[in-house]
Amino acid sequence: MLLLSWRKRCAVKDILSQSTIAVTIEVRPRCLVPDTNCFVDYLPAIEMIAKAHPLYQLMVPIIVINELEGLSKGIRHLSPKQQTSAINELLTPVTKSFVLPIAPASVADTGVGTQTVNSVSLPSLQHAAKVAELSKKAIHFIKSRNPALKCVTTKGSILKTSNFTVEDDDGDLKSNDDRILETALNLCRHNVKEKQAGTRYLTLDVVLLTTDRNLRVKAISNDLPVRELPDFIKWAGLSA
């Protein structure tokens, strides 16, 4: 019985040794690819990185600019009547009716204690207004012609201006996160890659900046260096 168990362990070990590929990655951060949330949530940190130019170069995917432009519209996606009611609600707080639950559910699901304006909750409107304002500031920064910032297409082509943000649609159904990831991966095309004794050695100067967990997992699975922006700022020793 013990002999059989030992043979099984040896067989499994042999299979794993044949299927495992060792990867050694040396990261020399130079090109930083921030996602949309970085500009919305951490614009001051982005500005700190820009001040460190030419040590770091911000590479902004076109899809990020498109997302920011969409977010900057705020409540304009509502009907004119909803917009008027929303603005009045935000500027002049008054007593409104509250939404009552039709059936037992959690507070988060029912919206108990949440003021509403034409089926749009007040906290949602306030959040949209805040995000819209932050997005406008981010767009202004991106279009300020700062030498520390360059716009890049999904295919990795660097643009001379941020005024053109339309790409040819290949007809695929990729998500915006996948396009951001693809942009960063295409920027890695000219990095050093070699293989010695079954081990892959990569020297990369591209780092994806995101707090999105799923996007970080995808980046790691593609051997792409990735960090959360606050962590990178701390690691780089940057300060205002």
Render pLDDT for 44-90 as a digit per residue (tens, 0 to 9): 999 999 999 999 999 999 999 999 999 998 755 555 555 555 545 54
pTM of the shown model? 0.73
Section 121-149 average pLDDT: 89
CA 71 to chain centre: 14
Section 91-112 average pLDDT: 43
**What percent of the chain stands above pLDDT 90?**
50
Render pLDDT for 114-131 as a digit per residue (tens, 0 to 9): 455 455 566 777 888 899
Torsional sign, CA 139, 66, 161, 225? positive
Set out the domains of the chain in order of their start, with CATH numbers.
31-75+122-188+207-236 (3.40.50.1010)
Q: For residues 162 and 151, is the Cβ–Cβ distance under 8 A? A: yes
- 204 contacts: CB under 8 Å, gap ≥ 6: 25, 26, 27, 28, 188, 191, 223, 224, 225
pLDDT attached to residue 103: 44
